[in-house]
Amino acid sequence: MSVLTSRYVFAISAGLLLALAAAFFHLQAAEAEAADASPIPPAVAVDVAQVHERAISEQREYSGRLEAVNRVDVRPQVSGTIVAVHFDDGALVDEGDVLFTIDPRPYRAAVERAKADLAAAQARVAHTTSELARSKRLLAQNAVARKDFEEKRHAARVAAAQEQGAAAALAAAELDLEHTEILAPVAGRVSRAEVTEGNFIQAGAGSPPLTTLVSVNQLYASFDVDEQSFLNFVLPARLASDTTTLVAMGLANESGFPRAGRLASIDNQLDTASGTIRLRAIFDNRDGKLMPGLYARIRLSGGTQRNAVLVDETAIGIDQDKRFVLVVDENERTAYREVKLGPLQEGMRIVESGLHAGERIVVNGLQRVRPGDAVAAQTVPPSSTTQLAGAKPGAQPPRSTSQNAS
Other C-beta atoms closer than 10 Å to the C-beta of 225 total: 23
pLDDT at site 146: 86
Residues in Cβ contact with 313 at an 8 Å cutoff, skipping those fewer than 6 apart: 348, 349, 393, 394
Question: What are the residue boundaries of the structural domains of the chain, listed by start?
Answer: 1-38, 46-56+308-405, 60-68+218-304, 72-101+186-216, 104-179
CB atoms within 10 A of CB 377: 20
Q: Nearest 5 degrees, angle CA 99-CA 102-CA 107?
A: 135
pTM of the model: 0.66
| H helix or E strand, kind and range, residue 293 | none
Q: What is the pLDDT of residues 308-322, one digit of tens each?
A: 888 888 888 888 888
Using CA of residue 384, residue 387, residue 391, residue 394, what is the dihedral sign?
positive
Neighbours of 7 (CB within 10 A): 10
CATH no., domain 60-68+218-304: 2.40.30.170
What count of Cα atoms within 13 Å lies in the side-chain half-sphere of residue 362?
Answer: 38
What CA–CA distances, in Å, run from 83 to 110, 193, 290? 19, 13, 34
User: Which CATH number is 72-101+186-216 given?
Assistant: 2.40.50.100
Q: Which fold has domain 104-179?
A: Helix Hairpins (1.10.287)
pLDDT value for 392: 39
Sign of torsion over alpha carbons 284, 289, 293, 294 = negative
Count, in order, helices (H) and strands (E) of the chain: 6, 21
Residue 390's Cβ-count burial label (10 Å; 0-12, 13-18, 19+) is exposed
Q: In the 8-state DSSP scheme, what is residue 227?
A: H
Mean of all residue pLDDT scores within the chain: 83
Q: How far is CA 278 from CA 227, 231, 270, in A?
A: 11, 13, 8
Kind and range of the H or E run holding 207: none
Total residue length of the chain: 406
- Residue 108 CB: number of other CB atoms within 10 A? 15
301: phi then psi, degrees, rounded to nearest 5 = -125, 125
Pairing of strands 360-364, 44-50: antiparallel
HSE-up (13 A, CA, CB side) for residue 181: 9
- For the stretch 55-107, pLDDT in tens is 887 778 899 999 999 999 999 999 999 999 999 999 999 999 999 999 999 99
CA–CA gap between residue 152 and residue 130 (Å, rounded): 9
Could you tell me which CATH number the domain at 46-56+308-405 has?
2.40.420.20
Question: How far is residue 385's CA from residue 363's CA, in Å, rounded to a whole number?
Answer: 6
Contacts of 238 by beta carbon, 8 Å cutoff, 6+ apart: 245, 266
Residue 376's closest CA among 50, 48, 49?
A: 48
Rounded to a whole number of angstroms, the CA Rg of the chain reads: 46
Give the per-residue pLDDT at 372: 85
Burial (0-12, 13-18, 19+ Cβ within 10 Å), 320:
exposed
List, for the chain, all residue ranges whose pLDDT scores fall below the cut of 50: 4, 37, 242, 384-406
Q: In Å, how far from its chain's centre is CA 200?
A: 43
Q: Coil, helix or strand for 277?
A: strand
